Each structure stands twice: as structure tokens, then as C-alpha cells.
Amino acid sequence: MEGNKKVIEILNQRLAEELTAISQYIVHGEMCGNWGYTKLHELIEKNAVQEMKHAEKIIERILYLEGKPIVSKLNPMNIGNDVEAQLRSDYAAEKSAVKAYNESIQACVEANDNGTRELFKSILLEEEGHVDWNEAQLDQIKQMGIQNYLSLQV
């Protein structure tokens, strides 16, 4: 089915964000693993996998709408030099994603594309979960201190 060009463009923008998030999470996760923070490594890896599933769903939708998925574009990444910087960077990226998905949902309503709207809505809810998780980690660091937090991640 031929889709709305604007919606396909938006899908590709969200795809670039998801591909960037995958890369950023993988780097952060592997850094945590290298530092011996096994629990944090596993949790960040799960977030990367969830972002991969988002990217896959977006690619499927673009193809359904007879568009061309652009998988060669990544947005700038913010790789943190320590765990707290990583969490802050991921938190900022997830908050930005929530804003972008809300705007994308509105654009789909205007384009009368309820299928893509529903896709964006389902991804939005998962991105909100990532925001919540990052907030919780940052709150734990604030409440117990970075050293105590990190001791729980080994």
C-alpha cells in the first residue's frame, strides 16, 4: 500500500533515532561489562534489544507503505565516560524520543494513518518505560551515592 510521503519521512527519522539508540546502548553496556558491572551490563543490553525490535517494526512499516528504509543514517551519539554520565545521556535521549514519538503520533493523525499511529503509540509506551528506568537509576545514585550504587551493579 502506498503510504503518505510525510509519514514515511517521519518513520525514517524515528528509525535513525532507534538505530542510534541501539549503538549507544551497546557501547554503554559493553563499557559497563568491561568495568565489571555485570548487572548494569545486562540491563542496558536488554534496552538495546528492545530498541532493535522498535527498529525492526519501523522498517516493516516503511516497507508496507512502499517506502525505502534508510538504515545508513545515525544521529550523533553521546557516549558517557562513566556510569552516571552514561545514564544521563541515555535519559536525555529517551526523553527526546518520547517527545518525538508524541509529535509523530500527531502527524499520523493529521495524515489519517492510524496504522502508523498505533505503531508509534506502542513504541512510545516502551520509550516511556526507558525514561522511567533511567530516572530510577539516577534517583538511586542521588540517594545512595555513586559508590554504593556501583557496588550493587557488580
Q: Give the C-alpha distances (Å, rounded to integers) separating 139 from 1, 30, 34, 118, 143.
A: 46, 23, 24, 32, 6
Cα 9 to chain centroid, rounded: 18
- Residue 1: the pLDDT is 85
Q: How far apart are CA 32 and CA 24, in angstroms?
A: 12
Q: How far apart are CA 120 and CA 146, in angstroms?
A: 35
pLDDT tens digits, one per residue of 132-146: 999 999 999 999 999
Which pLDDT band, with edges at 50, 70 and 90, does 66 fall under? very high
Q: Whose CA is closest to 151, among 37, 29, 34?
A: 37
pLDDT tens digits, one per residue of 3-54: 999 999 999 999 999 999 999 999 999 999 999 999 999 999 999 999 999 9
- Residue 49: the pLDDT is 98
Range 116-130 average pLDDT: 98
Q: What is the overall mean pLDDT for the chain?
A: 97
DSSP state of 82: S
Q: Where are the domains of the chain?
A: 5-151
Q: b/e per residue, 124-150, with b = 16+ CB within 10 A?
A: beebbebbebbeebbeebeeeeeeebb
Q: Are 91 and 82 in contact (CB under 8 A)?
A: no
- Residue 81: the pLDDT is 98
| Residue 127 pLDDT > 90 | yes
Range 95-110 average pLDDT: 98
In the CATH hierarchy, which fold is given to the domain comprising 5-151? Ferritin (1.20.1260)
pTM beyond 0.85: the answer is yes
| Residue 105 pLDDT > 90 | yes
- Residue 142: the pLDDT is 98
